[in-house]
Amino acid sequence: MSPDRLKRLLNIADFRRASRRILPHPVFDVIDGGAEDEWTLRRNESAFDTVAFVPKTLDGTQARDLSVSLFGHTLSMPVMIGPTALQGLLRPGGELMSARAATAAGTAYALSHGSICTMEALAATGATPRFMQVFVYRDRSFTHEFIDRAEAAGYHGLILTIDNQFGGNRERDIRNGFTIPPKLGAAQVAQMAIKAPWALRMRKDLPTLSFANYVRDGRAINMRDPKFRLTDMLDPGMSWADVDDIRKRWKGPFLLKSLVHPDEARRAVDRGVDGVVVSNHGGRQLDGMISSFEALPEVVDAVRGRIPVLIDGGFRRGADVVKALCLGASAVMLGRPNLWGVAVGGEAGVARVLDIYRTEIDRVMGLLGVSRIADLGPDYIRSVAR
Ligand X SMILES: Cc1cc2nc3c(=O)[nH]c(=O)nc-3n(C[C@H](O)[C@H](O)[C@H](O)COP(=O)(O)O)c2cc1C
Residue 55, CA distances (Å) to 126, 310, 367 in order: 40, 24, 7
Q: How far is the CB of 89 from ligand X (least distance, A)?
A: 9
285 part of the interface to ligand X, by CB under 6 A: no
- Are residues 128 and 153 in contact, defined by beta-carbon separation less than 8 angstroms? no
**82 lines the binding site for ligand X (CB under 6 A):** yes
CB of 112 to ligand X, least distance (A): 3
What is the C-alpha separation between 82 and 226, in angstroms, rounded? Answer: 29
Residue closer to ligand X, measured from CB, 71 or 135: 135
Does residue number 114 form part of the binding site for ligand X (CB under 6 A)? yes
Closer residue to ligand X, CB minimum distance, 161 or 330: 161
Question: Judged by CB under 6 A, which stretch of 1-9, 76-84, 101-109, 360-368 contacts ligand X?
Answer: 76-84
Helix axes 12-22, 336-368, angle to 10 degrees: 160
Q: Give all strands (DSSP E) within 178-295, no chain letters.
A: 215-216, 219-220, 254-259, 275-278
Nearest to ligand X of 87, 103 (CB atom): 87
DSSP string, 264-327: HHHHHHHTT--EEEE--GGGTSSTTPPPHHHHHHHHHHHHTTSS-EEEESS--SHHHHHHHHHT
Question: Restricting to residues 287-326, which ones interact with ligand X according to CB under 6 A?
Answer: 312-315
Query: Least distance to ligand X from the beta carbon of 47, Å?
Result: 11
Q: Active site includes 156?
A: no
The answer to whether the beta carbons of residues 289 and 339 sit under 8 Å apart is: no
User: Between residues 268 and 370, which has the closer beta carbon with respect to ligand X?
Assistant: 268
Of 60-68, 97-105, 111-119, 299-307, the window that binds ligand X (rule: CB under 6 A) is 111-119
Q: Which residues bind ligand X (CB under 6 A)?
A: 30-31, 44, 82-86, 112-114, 133, 161, 257, 279, 281-282, 284, 312-315, 334-336
Show which residues are catalytic.
281
